[in-house]
Amino acid sequence: MARQYAHPEVLVTTAWVAEHQHDPNLRIVESDEDVLLYNVGHVPGAVKVDWQTDLQDRLVRDYINREHFGELCASKGISNDTTVVFYGDKNNWWACYAFWVFKLYGHEKCLIMDGGRKRWELDGREWSKEPEPSHPRSNYEARQPDRAIRAFRDEVLKHQRLGRPLVDVRSSGEYTGEFLHMPDYPQEGALRGGHIPGAVSIPWAKAANEDGTFKSARELEALYIKENKLKRGAATIAYCRIGERSSHTWFVLTYLLGFKKVKNYDGSWTEWGNTVGVPIAKGLNPLGDDG
């Protein structure tokens, strides 16, 4: 019998979304890297959450606070008991980021449409070009941020010094220090390249199939547990450049493989690579012995 995801209930198919898109207590949320895609075509009835303007407080380089998150949800017609289904481009990486932010503020009913925009397109399903729908304003009471799923720099430094598991989910070129961002992107955001000493390199996209869906539980277990020796019971921190790719890995480890203590270091390399006094390693050796 094939191994099952630890929490299969958090994944839904495009068929499920098509069938339930008119449910009154369900809200479909699109969140993309390419913020213009929503206007090109979106799942009928979906609202848009822009990771730059909706989820970020750019003055303090942090997420919107508890009050602003509650306001965002209320404006989209999302109540505390609303089931929210996230989807997007690029194997759902920004959808997982939005999912993580919703979990940060305690939203309970969060789902991911497996395969995102790509799977919806491959399944030949209808796109809408209508303006974003307007829903009656709801009441929303956000919780205090959940520190159990978010790591800060000083915590990461202590974690690193104790030799605890760190997962660098960026491209191999970013990990070695050759690049400051993924290939074909502007090489910006940090003064120094490399990785946190001791971190293993597991690029985030290895968890996805060609159609954007997540790989099977057996394949994910082989990648993270057998090949890279991560342990379900060990406190683990994932990071990337700004926290979006690592939120995808956080989702995989937490919900698909059942890891109990995973945190996303959203400051990631943009913070670490610009911080005075923190250690950096280059090259392929995960222990950083190659300098």
Q: Rounded to whole angstroms, how far apart are CA atoms 123 and 113?
A: 13
92 φ, ψ to 5°?
A: 70, 25
Catalytic one among 73, 96, 110, 240? 240
Q: Rounded to whole angstroms, how far apart are CA atoms 94 and 281?
A: 28
Coil, helix or strand at residue 153: helix
Of 7, 25, 19, the residue nearest 44 (C-alpha): 19
Q: How far is CA 63 from the centre of its chain?
A: 14
Tell me, yes or no, if 73 is annotated catalytic.
no
Coil, helix or strand at residue 6: coil
* Strand locations in the chain (E): 11-12, 26-30, 47-48, 56-57, 62-63, 83-87, 110-113, 166-168, 200-201, 236-239, 262-265
Catalytic residues: 240
